[in-house]
Chain A
Amino acid sequence: AQSVTQLGSHVSVSEGALVLLRCNYSSSVPPYLFWYVQYPNQGLQLLLKYTSAATLVKGINGFEAEFKKSETSFHLTKPSAHMSDAAEYFCAVSVNAGNNRKLIWGLGTSLAVNP
């Protein structure tokens, strides 16, 4: 069965430090992959997506992610964390489900940014 695993439910970094949020997926066919961000008391917002084009995907707010088929990974990075990056981050994979496609969600990673 397809699944998404986000390693680390909580990640804490210092302001200015590298942000690395890990996502591994299982899928028998090339997937579409997404990262979403959720700020407190808000809905989810699309950060970036991979849809079989360039393997390095750039998103909003300075984030990027690299699709690595051999590692079945789609880790999210940002070179320098900002206090405003503190939020919940969700990885998702779009897979075939019969005649439809559906999103499989990771459980999320809460990012804290320390001054």
Chain B
Amino acid sequence: IAGITQAPTSQILAAGRRMTLRCTQDMRHNAMYWYRQDLGLGLRLIHYSNTAGTTGKGEVPDGYSVSRANTDDFPLTLASAVPSQTSVYFCASSPAIGYGYTFGSGTRLTVV
């Protein structure tokens, strides 16, 4: 089934540890996105990539990094996790302007 796969589905992480959230899509979409969802704050864009080889910063990029080596994969890395990064993280993709986004099922991350 075409779509987005995120891994892991949930994780408890010690503060200060490095963590990479994985995102893979099989729809050959050009654009990919990482959001975090927090109660009362809605969805906030962390980083995005309009096409393979390019990335950009969203609203809340600090503490996060991304790479886009190919069309399918868009990993999100927390270099040194802090408790404020406790959140649900969603990866999404879109084929082009005006099309809706396809979302993954999310990764629930707890930093302790």
Contacts and interface: CB of A to CB of B under 8 A. Distances in A.
A67 interface: no
Contacts of A45: 103
A46 interface: yes
Interface stretch (B13-21, B38-46, B71-79): B38-46
Interface residues of A, number: 21
Query: For the complex, would chain A's binding face be called helix, strand, loop or mixed by DSSP majority?
Result: strand
Contacts, number: 47
Interface string B84-103: 00000010100001111111
Contacts of B100: 34, 36, 46, 49
A101 B100 CA distance: 12
Nearest to B9: A41
Given A43-B106, A94-B98, 18 more contacts: A32-B98, A34-B100, A36-B100, A36-B101, A42-B106, A43-B90, A43-B104, A44-B92, A45-B103, A46-B100, A46-B101, A49-B100, A90-B42, A94-B97, A101-B97, A102-B45, A102-B48, A105-B43
